[in-house]
Structure formats: structure tokens, C-alpha cells
Structure 1
Amino acid sequence: MLGVLRGLAFATLALPAYAERIDATLPAGVEQALKSNKLGADTLSVVMLPLNGEGAATLVNADVSVNPASTMKLVTTYAALELLGPNHQWKTEFFTDGTLKDGVLQGNLYLKGGGDPKLNMEKLWLLLRDLRANGVVQVKGDLVLDRSHFIQPDLPAFDDDGGDQNRPFLVEPDSLLVNLKALRFVTRNDGGKVSVAVEPPLDRVRIDNRVQALPAAKCPGWPDLHYNPIADSQGVTVVITGKLHAGCNGQTYLALLDHPDYAAGTVRSLWKELGGSITGGDRVGSVPSDARLLAHALSPDLTEIIRDINKYSNNTMARQLFLSLGAAHRLPGDADDAQAAQRVIRQWLASKGIAAPNLVMENGSGLSRQERITAREMAAMLQAAWRSPYAAEFISSMPLAAMDGTMRKRLRETPVAGNAHIKTGTLKDVRAIAGYSRDAQGNSWAVVAILNHPQPWGAAAILDEVLVSLSSQQGGSQTARR
């Protein structure tokens, strides 16, 4: 009991007057789920805090420092809503240091990134259309990429399981992040002939198609296809092997090029489709102070960005947002924008009366072995967000249980379906949920449940049981225990 309640003096979870009772035991269903999966109660931290109505707050292992996995994105996105504003946008711009006459640009074309987390193919295409509409057809100079917006931290590459480092969820942030640096490979067997297409089609990505065509049959959910990238001085060759039945197709996403190669290749590919040309080479550099603006594009509002981050747990976009917070509040003493973001988030929490001595933020996405928080600290932040002017935007950014995002397949045919906005978190030895849910009376609760264990088998079912137990709870019916 002392371990459960330790830290009440410094913890900032302020219970409403009608919820000053504390339950220091897990719901019976959760205890049984832990026992069934042979996990001890000390592996699970739980805080359930009533936000309106009656009920006893549940605090179990609430002050244990744990790895929250992707639930850390809630800290980053809520901080961004208040520190940047819900209508914050990022800017991407084309400049030139040359002259334009009769469609010919005599000079270099500069593409300056502003850290946009969602500069996708469609947005870049529209930006290039604007460039074309402004009279540019031929560029006689170089394509110069300005990636100076962020001061990047020197962080080790995340390698949780020793798997393929080309997986898109591992893409690192960049001032000029284009299309999340993703390549989509689509393999089809049309009438006995196998074809492979890659989108976007980049000169530095070549296909070596070795897929065996099979007769028509029922298409499997996961076709027998394997993608082996081989890098060389000219780019990368993707050797595709396996088998594919007639009438079937398969697709995968890979991140194979570095940020400059991907950005430059995509610009050139789309510009060529629009009838333009660039005769010079590609290089990284800064926009000259006397350069002239040719075209610019704005990102969607922050409200839309955080929806993508939280609904689908997008690590790269979360890291972009974290660095954007740092860049917007950078001070001369900050070594990089990650350090600046950590500082400003701590100051922001302190301004709300939230002391978070256990909070450790490395990249703001939860894709980290270093990041830490306690369930009490996370719940205190959720409680503050509930009172925020931007509560609606924040809550609606989270997956809706049994309906969308990373919760779309969970808790179907339970009372929780449609009644909880929950952010999930998953690492090799972490399973977590955090967000808002309702009890049997329709009252709202802040809920945090984080399980850390080397073998978290069955953890998703255990965390789901936390929400199921809460959904069946009658307000005010618990027995208070201190």
C-alpha cells in the first residue's frame, strides 16, 4: 500500500471533490486476466480517474517509472495543441536565385522544408503545379534542398528486435520530409504475367522481378513475396522473389533511400510528369538571403496532423511534431531541437501545476528505450487536457474503441465499443493504453494502463479488461481503500 500511494506529496493528480476516495486494488477481472497470463500484479500500472460524476479513483503502481511506448504521443500532441495552437501550419517553399524568362529559369531551384509532417505526394504535386502556373518550365540550374529548419539531435537508430531497418515506421524526421519517405511496391499477376510497379517511380530505385507466376487460385491474405533491397552507388535494386497466382496481387511499403535522394527523386519524377525539366544536379544547401519566392504550400492544420499521429500511431509524424515544438521555442543554450522540446514541455507542464519528475522524452513518439513516465503523471496530463479549451480536438484525435485507428479490432461487442477514445502503445516488452472512457452511468474517466514485462503475452486482453471493468462500474459503488 505504501508503494502504491508513495509520491502523493509531489504527484499532481488532483482528484475532484466528489472523487477524493482512492481504490488501491485492481478490478477483479483485471487480476484474473493477469493470473491467467502468468503475469504478476507488479508488471501493471493503472490509474482510473473520474472526470465527472462519482467514483473512487483507482491507483495501482501509479508512481512506478515505466516505458509508455506510443502513449507518449499524447504528451507530444497535447503540448503541441497548446504551445503551437490548433491552427498551426507548416510551410514548404520554392525559391530561385536566377531569372525567369519564357518559361526558362536561369538559375538554381531551391526547395526549403519547414518540417511539414504531412508533405505527401498530392501536396507536393499541387505545389509543383503552382510552380508551373507561375511560368517555370525548364530549370537550367541545380535542384537545391534546404534541410536547415531543424537542428537534429544525434540519436541512435531504434532497433527493438533486430529486424529490417527499411520498415516505414522507423523513418527518422527531417526538415524536408516528403511522403514519409515511403515507397509502395505493387506486384500483380495479370493473365500469367507478373508485373511490379513502384510509387513514386524514382530513377534511383530499380526492380529485379523474379516472381514466379502460378495458375489462378484463391488469393491468400499474405502472398508469398519477398523484397530484398541491394544498395550500390547508383541507388538501390530491389530483388523481388516468391510466387503469385493469376488474378492476385500483393503490396508492401519500404523506406530505402535517404531523405535528400527521396525528396529530389520525387520532385524530379512529378516535375517530369508536369512537362518540366531540371538540367542541373541535386545537392543540399541553404536558400540565399536574396533569393526570390516562386511558390509555397501550407500543411493541414495541427488538428488534422495530431489525428493522423494518434489514430494510426505514426512515429515519424510524432517525431516531426516534437522537433517542431523545439524549433518554435529554441533558445541559444539548446544543443538541438529535441533538447528545446524537452525543456519547453517541462515548463508547460509546470505552468499547469503538473510535476513530472519521472518524465523522460527522447523523441516524443514512444519509439524509444529511453522514454519514461508514470501512470499518475500521464493521468494528470489527461486530466488537464480534459479541462483544456482544445479538449475536443485532443480527444477526437485518439482511436475510437472498436471503430477506427489502432483500436478498430479491439473490444468489439463489448460496452466499451464506441465509448472510449484510447491511444495504444506497443513495444517488444511494453503494452499500454491511455485516454478517456465511460462507466455504466455515462460518466467520463481518464484511464492509463501500462504493462512492462519481457514477455507481455496476453497483455492486450489484460488492458482491454481494464476498460471493460470500468464500463460496467456503477458510479459511487466502489469501496474506498487508503
Structure 2
Amino acid sequence: MLKALRHLAIASFLIPLTLPLSVSAASYLPSNVEKSLKASKVSPQSLSVAVVPLSRAGDSNFYNADVSVNPASTMKIITTYAALELLGPTYQWRTDFYADGPVRGGVLNGNLYFKGGGDPKLNMEKLWLLLRDLRANGVTKVTGDLVLDRGYFKQPQLPAFNDDGGDKNKPYLVTPDSLLVNLKAVRVVTRNDGGKINVSIEPPIATIRVDNRVKALKAAKCPAWPEVRLNPVTEFDGTTLIVDGKLADGCSSQAYLSLLDHPSYAAGAVRAIWAELGGSILGKDRQGSVPSSAKLLARAYSPDLVEIIRDINKYSNNTMARQLFLSIGAKYRTPADADDSMAAQRAIRSWLARKGMTATQLVMENGSGLSRAERVSVREMSKILQTAWKSPYAAEFISSLPLTAMDGTMRKRLRRTPMEGQGHIKTGTLNNVRAISGFSRDKNGDYWAVVAILNDPKPWGASAVLDQVLLDVYKNPRTK
């Protein structure tokens, strides 16, 4: 019932208005793209393409351009561009420590409050510096509890995403949180030092125990994929990580997992670093709100939003994108909004309307593309790219996207082709989706907005189809 009401609420925003095109348009697939589709055994009807000139007059090309498609992570294009204009390029998030009692002689006689502000990039280095500031403000010992204030976001109740039905501990599945610490990632390093197997975890959270079952092998060439397996087992008082497999002398293995819930991870990370700094917290961990009478002891600011969107787009970080989406909602929330997801959807639709756009196919659920519900058409995405091209923050936005054959998720694609370094392209991948969206140059140095999204039950190898779209734009510009 609640899911149906949510979808009805989303649909209520879809007012059928369009932005008229001001360029001549065609509808075709280049011959090399058709050949690539045939080689991948993918139907042309699975592919949607929009190519629009930006820096000079030319012919646009729209193929299946008004079909509602799942954009996968190219949805981050809309979220990050909207954030630049709705929050501002210098927007920052805050994370605070408060006390509800006096500090005397290095002792906080009361509770220590850890208040989150939705920072997408509160990593271990930043947390360490924040705790150093707490020490610098005279605190060494806390007699009360560690209280986590996670009330900044009004969290939506969204269905869990598990595209392949696999490991729920994968870092890319981490959900957003007001007090997101280090993307809730645990780094597990296994080493064979002279026949002795050492397993370490970072941060060294006390509630994560390691069961080391790895067998040491004699000296050998270190494999690219070491035979080390990780199996987390949740227990009533924490998590046991069973590590088994084989590892040759002098070799190591590294992996990242999400093992704990948000409050357990945040509290565990604070306690681990605080102990390393020589501090102690005598009380328990619990959740609560900072009292109005509490005193601010230490505060940390995130990097500017322009740096955050670079991380999101270059490396397609789902958790950070979802944090950003909810941050838009938190800023523009009204009493009528059920949660910050609904508030973000409303704010983004209003923003698009002010620019003369109402995308009838656009459906946003969490803003990251890690969703089966999110939808857009390539024509709508191309209009958004055209608007971004004219934005006062165009340079910041374009530079956040991966460079073809150079960095981010495009670093291994289109190498040794004329497209090296010629495009800023966001990628998207789900089990049945392959997508690209961004800005690309042709051989004359003119810019185009390019969107190509393929929805097909078996899109394996079809990234080559999308690369052919970019190569055709480069080699065969249709400018006037």
C-alpha cells in the first residue's frame, strides 16, 4: 500500500510539458553502431540515442529518444547538476561534537554527542582530525555515553536494491545516513609475512572479530586475484569475519566490505580512533538528539560541493549520490513532504520548470541510478545537458565527469582511439543496462551533448556499442 502511494505521489509530479527543439533533427543509427549491435546480438530497439550540437549549429540525431528507459548511474548527471544550482558550488556539510556537561581537568562529566549533518565524505582522516580538535579543546575522558544524533535526514523507506542477489556486504550497496562515516567501509588486509598470516581491519572496530583460517603457502608468484575469501557472520554482540583460503609467502590481499549498520560503525570508528589518541569513553553507545543547552566542542566541514560531485561522477559513487539527493531534500523540505526523497524530487522538478523543462518520463527514486524504478528518456537527458552547458557552473560540472580513456569509469575505454581525452562522459551499468551521458568533442573541436542508453536483457559486451556512438560523433560531425 505504501509503495503504491509513493509511486502515485511520484507520478503526480509528471506534468506533460515539453521544451521545443530549436535545431533540425534526424533519426538514424550510424552503420558502425548497427554493426556493433549485431556483433553483440542486441536489437536496435534496445538502444536510445540523442546527439545534440552545443558549440555551433548542426543536425541533432534522436533515435528511440522518447522511450522511457532505466538510465542506471547516468541519473547522477541530473542529481549533481541540480545540486550545483540548488545548493551552490561552495556548499558544505557540518559534523559536530557536543557536550551536555562541564569539562574540567581533561574530563567531560557528561555525555558526548556526535551530530551528523549528512556529509558524504566524512572519511577516517577527517574524523581523526575532528577528534584531535576535541582533544585540543581539553577532553581526554568522557564519563557519560557516546550519543549519536542521526536526525538530520528525514529518511525515506525505499526498497532494498540487490541487482544480482549476491553479497549484501558490497560497499556500493551502502545506504545513506545523516551520520555517514567513511562510507561505512571496512578495509580487510591479509598478508603472508614469512609463513605467518596476518589479517588486519581498518578501522579497528572492537565489535568486529577476525577468525583467521587462511593457509600459508611457500614462496610463489603473487596472483592478481589471491585465493582469500571473506565470510561475515552477524552475532548478537557484533560480527565475526571468517577469513579463509590460501596465500603465498610475500603476498597480500585487500578487500572492502560493509559489515555493520550505520550507528555501530560510527560509534565503533569514534571509539577506535579516540582510544588511539589516548582517550576513553566510559558510558555506552546510544542514539539521541543534541540538547539545546549542549556546548559545541569541535566542528568539521566537508569539502566544497564541487569536490563532492567530482567523486560522485568520476567514480560513480552511489552512496555519496544518495547523500547528495537527500541533502537537496533536507534543504527544501516542507511540512507537506513525507521524507527528504520526496522533497528532493519536488525541488528538482520545480528547478527544471523554472528552466522551461518538465520531463514527463523522469522518475527519481534515490538520485543515484542504483534503482529499478528510476526512469528518463534520452531526449530529456540531452535537454538537461544543453541547459548545463549554459549554466554559470558549466566548467565545474563538466570537469566532474570522467575523461574518455583517461580517468574515472572511462579510464579503460576508447584507449588508442581519436576519442582519448575528447569527452567528459558519465557511465551507467546495471544487469540489463549500459549507458553513457555527457559532453564530447568532434574532430573539428566542436562540442556535442551525447546520450546513449541501452536497456536489454542481455547487454553483455554492449559497452562497445556506446563507444561507437562517441566515435561516430567524433569522426562524422554534422555541423553547419
Distance between the aligned counterparts of 1:168 and 1:85, measured in 2? 28
Over the aligned positions, Cα root-mean-square deviation in angstroms equals 1.0
Please report how far the alpha carbon of residue 36 of structure 1 lies from its aligned counterpart in structure 2 after TM superposition: 1.5
Matched, 1:150 2:150: no
Please report how far the alpha carbon of residue 119 of structure 1 lies from its aligned counterpart in structure 2 after TM superposition: 0.3
Matched, 1:449 2:452: yes
Q: 8 Å contact 1:13–1:379 — kept in the other structure? A: no
AA aligned to 1:419 is Q
Distance between the aligned counterparts of 1:467 and 1:55, measured in 2? 16
Name 2:382's counterpart in structure 1.
Answer: 379
Taking the TM superposition and a 5 Å limit, the aligned residue runs for 1:201-220 are: 201-220=204-223
- Give the one of 56, 59, 77 matched to 1:56: 59
Name 1:3's counterpart in structure 2.
Answer: none
Please report how far the alpha carbon of residue 476 of structure 1 lies from its aligned counterpart in structure 2 after TM superposition: 3.0
Matched, 1:69 2:72: yes
Question: What's the CA shift string for 1:332-381, capped at 9, x where partnerless?
Answer: 10000000000000000011011201110000000000000000010000
Name 2:242's counterpart in structure 1.
Answer: 239
**What SS does the aligned partner of 1:212 have?**
strand
Q: 8 Å contact 1:313–1:406 — kept in the other structure? A: yes
Taking the TM superposition and a 5 Å limit, the aligned residue runs for 1:246-285 are: 246-285=249-288
Please report how far the alpha carbon of residue 10 of structure 1 lies from its aligned counterpart in structure 2 after TM superposition: 4.6
Name 1:346's counterpart in structure 2.
Answer: 349
**What SS does the aligned partner of 1:368 have?**
coil
- Give the one of 423, 426, 430 matched to 1:427: 430
**What SS does the aligned partner of 1:211 have?**
strand
Distance between the aligned counterparts of 1:132 and 1:474, measured in 2? 61
Distance between the aligned counterparts of 2:372 and 2:213, measured in 1? 38
Distance between the aligned counterparts of 1:221 and 1:469, measured in 2? 36
Q: 8 Å contact 1:13–1:380 — kept in the other structure? A: no
Runs of 4 or more consecutive aligned structure 1 residues displaced over 6 Å after TM superposition? none
**What SS does the aligned partner of 1:228 have?**
strand
Name 2:441's counterpart in structure 1.
Answer: 438
**What SS does the aligned partner of 2:28 have?**
coil
Please report how far the alpha carbon of residue 104 of structure 1 lies from its aligned counterpart in structure 2 after TM superposition: 0.5
**What SS does the aligned partner of 2:70 have?**
coil
Taking the TM superposition and a 5 Å limit, the aligned residue runs for 1:78-477 are: 78-476=81-479
Q: 8 Å contact 1:13–1:376 — kept in the other structure? A: no
**What SS does the aligned partner of 2:313 have?**
helix
Q: 8 Å contact 2:230–2:241 — kept in the other structure? A: yes
AA aligned to 1:88 is Y
AA aligned to 1:14 is L
Q: Which runs of 5+ in 2 are unaligned?
A: 1-15
Q: 8 Å contact 1:98–1:106 — kept in the other structure? A: yes
- Give the one of 17, 21, 25 matched to 1:14: 21
AA aligned to 1:242 is G
**What SS does the aligned partner of 1:440 have?**
coil
Please report how far the alpha carbon of residue 13 of structure 1 lies from its aligned counterpart in structure 2 after TM superposition: 5.9
Please report how far the alpha carbon of residue 276 of structure 1 lies from its aligned counterpart in structure 2 after TM superposition: 0.6
**What SS does the aligned partner of 1:465 have?**
helix
Q: 8 Å contact 1:105–1:138 — kept in the other structure? A: yes
Q: 8 Å contact 1:430–1:451 — kept in the other structure? A: yes
Distance between the aligned counterparts of 1:148 and 1:227, measured in 2? 33
AA aligned to 1:453 is D
Residues 74 and 474 of structure 1: CA distance in aligned 2, closer, same or farther (over 3 Å): closer
Distance between the aligned counterparts of 1:37 and 1:409, measured in 2? 19
AA aligned to 2:324 is L
AA aligned to 2:463 is A
Q: Which runs of 5+ in 1 are unaligned?
A: 1-8, 478-482
Q: 8 Å contact 1:440–1:475 — kept in the other structure? A: no
Q: 8 Å contact 2:146–2:286 — kept in the other structure? A: yes
Residues 229 and 13 of structure 1: CA distance in aligned 2, closer, same or farther (over 3 Å): farther
AA aligned to 1:163 is G
Q: 8 Å contact 1:229–1:236 — kept in the other structure? A: yes
Distance between the aligned counterparts of 2:360 and 2:292, measured in 1? 43
AA aligned to 1:203 is A
Question: What's the CA shift string for 1:85-121, capped at 9, x where partnerless?
Answer: 0000000001111001010000000010000000000
AA aligned to 2:229 is H
Percentage of pairs with the same residue: 65
Name 1:6's counterpart in structure 2.
Answer: none
TM-score, normalised to structure 2, is: 0.96
AA aligned to 2:325 is F
Distance between the aligned counterparts of 2:395 and 2:29, measured in 1? 29
